[in-house]
Amino acid sequence: MLVPVSAMLGEQQQSVGEAKHLKITLKTVKLANGETLGYRERDGGEDVLLLIHGNMTSSKHWDLVLEALPENLKVYAVDLRGFGISTYNKPIETIKDFSEDVKQFVEAMGLEDFSICGWSTGGAVAMQYTVDYPNSVNKIILLASASTRGYPFYSVNAFGQQVRLIKKEEVSKDFTKAIPVLGAYQHKDKLFLRNMWDLVIYNNNKPDPARYDDYLEDMLTQRNLVDVYQALNIFNISSGHNGINEGTNQAKDISVPTLVLWGENDLVVSEKMTREIIEDLGVNAKLKVLRNCGHSPLVDDIEQLVNEIVGFLNE
């Protein structure tokens, strides 16, 4: 259920489901910077896990994980600025804008000792957060994550050649991804979005029809598509150049244990990008390839995914 932005004042909540008899509640919280973030909170034990979603999604897309994780975990899944029921008062320019929101969310929730799981774009947010605020993070799980060197935005020129776009203005005029998806959002064209996700995300398995429709409705809440594309395009915490800019050389500062999960059939994040993460994070990171999974192991094989998450957190 979408809560109107105009109604998101102070703390609100509504029950949205049960997970193994544990309640999942949709809430909002006002941040110190004036933004209001939506989030899902699942009852559990003392061990805290924070879930950060990817592009074109929100905390809604974590529902299968929230339902499957063991009850010893207290779980929060946040809606990043401009997604789900969160506000978008000030446009983001970098991944760090998202991670600073997460920092204010963590402070508002009083979280001091937790692990982070970031999916796709959320992986970049998780890495940037850990670079800047390492003391509160126990472990990181990077699920089908953007690289430490970003996620390059490519288009096709008039000669049919693939070209790397540099500026946000160029990305906003891209007719291969940006304009079609923006058009689908504007016209609430869920069929276009379904066909797109069937092709590149749910290329192995698909959610059940009711859940899939909920996901599609949730996609239509996004208000920052081009901003996110460009933030990923310029993200670079490596020690090298990513084709647009020099890296900040911060990846080496991530010293907490990190699990990198990548589906062998992922059509969005390449094996090369995943290997870049391992190379840049060094000995603190380990790679686990998820068999028969694409970019959404949450749908492709939830049992395999949860087993890997829980096993790593219990190490």
For the entire predicted model, the pTM comes to: 0.94
pLDDT one-digit tens code per residue, 90-146: 999 999 999 999 999 999 999 999 999 999 999 999 999 999 999 999 999 999 999
Q: How far apart are the first and last CA of the chain?
A: 37
pLDDT one-digit tens code per residue, 174-201: 999 999 999 999 999 999 999 999 999 9
Average pLDDT of the chain to the nearest whole number: 94
DSSP string, 204-217: S----HHHHHHHHH
Share of residues in the chain with pLDDT > 70 (%):
94
In Å, what is the CA distance from 270 to each residue of 145, 147, 197, 205?
10, 9, 17, 19
Q: What is the mean pLDDT of residues 35-45?
A: 97
* Alpha-helical segments (H) within 110-208: 121-132, 168-172, 178-187, 190-200
pLDDT of residue 19: 53
Rounded CA gap, 294 and 269, in Å? 9
Tally of CB atoms within 10 A around 296: 31
**Which has the closest alpha carbon to 102: 140, 71, 73?**
140
Assigned architecture for domain 5-150+234-314: 3-Layer(aba) Sandwich (3.40)
**For the chain, how long is the longest CA-to-CA vector?**
57
DSSP one-letter code for 241? B
Q: Domains of the chain: which residue ranges?
A: 5-150+234-314
Where residue 8 falls among pLDDT bands split at 50, 70, 90? very low
pLDDT value at 274 more than 80: yes
* Host H or E run for residue 287: strand 285-290
Rounded CA gap, 279 and 252, in Å? 10
Tally of CB atoms within 10 A around 58: 25
Say what angle helices 178-187 and 190-200 make with each other, to 10 degrees: 140
pLDDT of residue 29: 98
pLDDT of residue 3: 31
Asked whether the beta carbons of 214 and 191 are under 8 A apart, the reply is: no
Residue 172, phi then psi, degrees to nearest 5: -65, -20
Q: What is the mean pLDDT of residues 244-261?
A: 97
